[in-house]
Amino acid sequence: MPMTKSIAKYSMGVGDRFGLEGAAQLRAFQAAKDRGVAITPVWNKSNREHSLIGTRPEDVRAEAEAAVKSGQWRGDYFVDADHIGLATVDKFLAASDFFTIDVADSIGKPASDASMAKYVAEMQRFVGALRIPGVAEPVTVTTASLQEIAAKYLFAVEEAGRIYRHIVQAKGEGNFVTEVSFDEANTAQTPAELFFILAAAAREAIPVATVAPKFTGEFLKGIDYVGDSKRFAREFDEDLAVLAFAQKIFGLPAALKLSIHSGSDKFSLYPIIYRAIKKADAGLHLKTAGTTWLEEVIGLAAAGGEGLAFAKALYREALGRYDEMAKPYLTVIAIDRAALPTPTQVDAFSAQEFVETLEHNQACKRFNIHFRQMVHISFRLAAEKQPQYLALLKSNRSSIESHVTDNIFKRHIEPLFLGVGA
């Protein structure tokens, strides 16, 4: 296994659509450090977000560096090329030192017959009842089940190997953190699948630092988990057990950990995950979506005046262009259009009413999960009016920054890494 840049036990990915909130985001990590928990910040932005807004990976690097400098952050930090493949990785090579290699699109594509046969032959040693410490029932492995897993995942892992080696050519071995992601697959991976995926990754000599499986249930953007949280808890425990076992057996990097592409705000899962990683003494990477953008809208609306007027006008336009806004996100949103307030209703909102409808406070009767998702996917409208939007962001700094910091610290870091409420 090649040397790899390591990432600390706990890390968290934050997104920032417009690149102004790096310092406010970093303050949440500083607050965690003050409470005795080290969490490494990772600024992530996917190719999709870059192209929808017109930013470049260099902008994220510059934002991160400026935040680290102004916040006098002495710890590690990373810039994540989020969800890249061979077709998109090149423009991230210079600016990124964390690469989320996304091979979900390659799942189910066939590897060569020779490659399949070789893999299945090498995995014969696991045929029978495979006992994974921490997994209650032994996993029954047969040649047929190995062939099935290989047919589904072997080509995808080989593709991850090709992408990894392409990055190595540009950046040199050991100079970046490697994540392999399957979270955008159609079905959740079973513990056995995860085990044999990791086996395949080790054969490709990919020094996987973090792996992002698809978990059971739905991880929609900016709203809570939708699914059976008891089943999630069981699967999550099993995944942790599989990782610890596979790490030893296949000689993967010692710091190998799970990455959860959360889409943000998975409040009902955070206590479950906190207890699981404590019990297993496991690390974790939590990737969040760009809900910092929503905190900007909340900060503007809370300020009233022009900020509130901008937020209302944006909502009106977003509804008028619904299909266009929703299109890139159809698989990760669940908006009931009938449950959305009309633009005329929203125009009559006070600042407080607007904020309460948007802010993710499940105890608030006014909170509207559909309204929240609608605003979340409408950031491109602000991108179209960038000079006006950025001027508003700049003139409402303090209101916005406190929302950005509190959102990351109180809603995510406290329950997930500090165990508040667990």
Q: Which residues bind Zn ion (CB under 5 A)?
A: 183, 261
- State the minimum distance, in angstroms, from the CB of residue 104 to Zn ion: 8
Between 183 and 356, whose beta carbon lies closer to Zn ion?
Answer: 183
The total number of residues shown for the chain amounts to 422
Give the span between the Cα atoms of 85 and 152, in whole angstroms.
18
Instruction: State the Cα angle at 98 between 295 and 155, rounded to 5°.
Output: 115
- State the minimum distance, in angstroms, from the CB of residue 52 to Zn ion: 16
Between 288 and 357, whose beta carbon lies closer to Zn ion?
Answer: 288
Between 85 and 419, whose beta carbon lies closer to Zn ion?
Answer: 85
Picking from 419, 415, 414, 408, the residue whose alpha carbon sits closest to that of residue 26 is 408
- State the minimum distance, in angstroms, from the CB of residue 162 to Zn ion: 20
Between 262 and 405, whose beta carbon lies closer to Zn ion?
Answer: 262
- State the minimum distance, in angstroms, from the CB of residue 403 to Zn ion: 25
Q: Per residue in 299-331, is it b (16+ CB within 10 Å) or e — as a string?
A: bbbbbeeebbebbbebbeebbeeeeebbeeeee
- State the minimum distance, in angstroms, from the CB of residue 265 to Zn ion: 15
C-beta of residue 12 within 8 angstroms of C-beta of residue 288 = yes
Between 48 and 337, whose beta carbon lies closer to Zn ion?
Answer: 48
Tokens 């669940």, residue located: 334
Q: Residue 46 has which token pair? A: 């996917």
Between 84 and 400, whose beta carbon lies closer to Zn ion?
Answer: 84
Picking from 385, 418, 395, 224, the residue whose alpha carbon sits closest to that of residue 306 is 395
- State the minimum distance, in angstroms, from the CB of residue 131 to Zn ion: 31
Query: Which residues are bridge partners to 78 per DSSP?
Result: 42
Give the residue at shortest CB distance from Zn ion: 261
Q: Residue 33 has which token pair? A: 């450090």
C-beta of residue 360 within 8 angstroms of C-beta of residue 223 = yes
For 138, other C-beta atoms within 10 Å of its C-beta total 11
